[in-house]
């Protein structure tokens, strides 16, 4: 018995432990970076938003780590303001997409054959349309602005997650505890609330984190071409759009620092989402 207990962990177990440690480390770093960004925006206050023409278009230095823009605003502080704004917009939009995907998946698996066919048709129709063009049309039809961007991103990012959740729930319909509930004449609404929803929590969490970078990128893209957030707000898309007029004049820092900050945030959340997906799906576990 002691020999069995003292055996070293197998290779799959070591791989799982390594994945868990890597996920925890990435999550910890991302959480610290996010907290630092959100706290710094409160500490900076209006710094980076109000104009100061005495320091306009200064290059990176110790007093202005990322330089200043055409109105003399510190680009480092302005980039942090933009990241905080993009975070809240991306979080709300991704959460809206997750809620839509969850509701449609539940309707498809508990509403009968007709509901399943209707949801499948909606998924195929949404995935068949040009994604960014649809974003532009929705945002433009709603008049632009923060609310329009959130709605446009939220109502266009649910199809793939809905298809994944629907497949999970179709397999779950044949589980023993679901059959037992049906044997005791429980309604599909009761089964969906008490059996399906708890099972979907890991998939919903992973889906939210994976949708988050897509929401931030599309928000920045819409804002960059003029269909997104208001130009008066320090959004990353606004910073990149304003920098295009000065890049040919050698003011490279106006676009470099906001672009790098956006790239780092997107890659960080994408890595966390992929690691969480591996940990929550045994079939994807690395050996």
CA dihedral 228, 230, 235, 236 (to 10 degrees): 50
CB 229 within 8 A of CB 139: no
The token duo for 184 is: 């005791």
pLDDT in the model for residue 5: 47
Highest mean pLDDT among 91-105, 124-138, 213-227, 272-286: 91-105
| Number of neighbours of residue 139 by Cβ within 10 angstroms | 27
Mean pLDDT on 247-257: 84
Q: What DSSP line would sit under the chain, residue for residue?
A: -HHHHTSPPPHHHHHHHHHHHHHHHHHHHHHHHHHHHHHHHHHHTTTTTS--GGGTTPPS-SSSTT-B-TT--BHHHHHHHHHHHHHHHHHHHHHHHHHHHHHHHHHHHHS-HHHHHHHHHHHHHHHHS-HHHHHHHHHHHTTSSHHHHHHHHHTTS-HHHHHHHHHHHHHHTTSHHHHHHHHTT--HHHHIIIIIHHHHHHHHHHHHHHHHHHHHHHHHHHHHTTSSS-TTS--HHHHHHHHTTTGGGT-THHHHHHHHHHHHHHHHHHHHHHHHHHHH-GGG---
pLDDT, average across residues 248-260? 85
Strand partners, 74: 68
The pLDDT-based confidence of 96 (bands split at 50, 70, 90) is very high
Task: Give the pLDDT score at 23.
Answer: 63
| pLDDT on residue 22 | 66
Q: Residue 179: is its pLDDT beyond 60? A: yes
Structural domains of the chain sorted by starting position, each given as residue range(s) with its CATH number in brackets: 18-46+71-284 (1.10.3720.10)
Determine the longest span between alpha carbons in the chain, in angstroms. 78
Q: What is the pLDDT of residues 228-245, one digit of tens each?
A: 888 888 888 888 888 888
pLDDT mean over 251-260: 86
187 versus 158: the higher-pLDDT residue is 158
Place of tokens 């508990």: 110
Q: Contact at 8 Å (CB) between 279 and 203?
A: no
97-135 pLDDT tens trace:
999 998 898 888 877 788 888 888 988 888 888 888 888
71 pLDDT above the threshold of 80: yes
Q: At what angle do helices 253-280 and 236-243 cross, to 10 degrees?
A: 140
* pLDDT tens digits for range 130-166: 888 888 888 888 888 888 889 998 888 888 888 888 8
Does position 91 have pLDDT exceeding 70, yes or no? yes
pLDDT single digits (tens) 2-57: 444 454 555 555 655 566 676 667 667 776 777 777 787 777 777 777 777 778 88
């Amino acid at each position: 018995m002691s020999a069995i207990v003292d055996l070293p962990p197998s290779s799959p177990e070591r791989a799982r432990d390594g994945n868990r440690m890597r996920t925890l480390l990435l999550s910890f770093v991302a959480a610290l970076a996010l907290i630092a960004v959100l706290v710094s925006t409160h500490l900076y206050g209006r710094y980076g938003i109000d104009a100061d023409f005495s320091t306009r278009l200064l290059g990176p230095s110790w007093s202005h780590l990322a330089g200043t823009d055409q109105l003399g605003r510190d680009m480092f502080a302005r980039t942090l303001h933009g990241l905080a704004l993009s975070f809240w917009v991306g979080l709300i939009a991704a959460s809206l997409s997750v809620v839509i995907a969850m509701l449609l998946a539940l309707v498809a698996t508990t509403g009968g054959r007709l509901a399943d066919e209707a949801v499948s048709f909606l998924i195929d129709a949404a995935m068949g349309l040009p994604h960014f063009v649809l974003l532009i049309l929705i945002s433009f039809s709603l008049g632009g602005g923060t609310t329009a961007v959130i709605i446009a991103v939220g109502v266009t990012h649910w199809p793939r997650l809905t298809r994944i959740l629907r497949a999970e729930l179709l397999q779950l319909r044949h589980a023993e505890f679901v059959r037992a509930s049906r044997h005791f004449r429980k309604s599909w609404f009761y089964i969906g609330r008490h059996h399906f929803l708890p099972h979907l929590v890991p998939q919903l969490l992973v889906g939210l984190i994976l949708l988050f970078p897509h929401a931030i990128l599309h928000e920045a893209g819409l804002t960059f071409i003029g269909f997104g957030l208001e130009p008066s707000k320090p959004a990353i898309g606004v910073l990149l759009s304003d920098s295009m007029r000065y890049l040919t004049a050698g003011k490279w820092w106006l676009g470099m620092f906001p672009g790098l900050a956006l790239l780092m945030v997107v890659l960080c959340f994408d890595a966390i989402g992929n690691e969480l997906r591996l940990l929550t799906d045994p079939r994807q576990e690395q050996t």
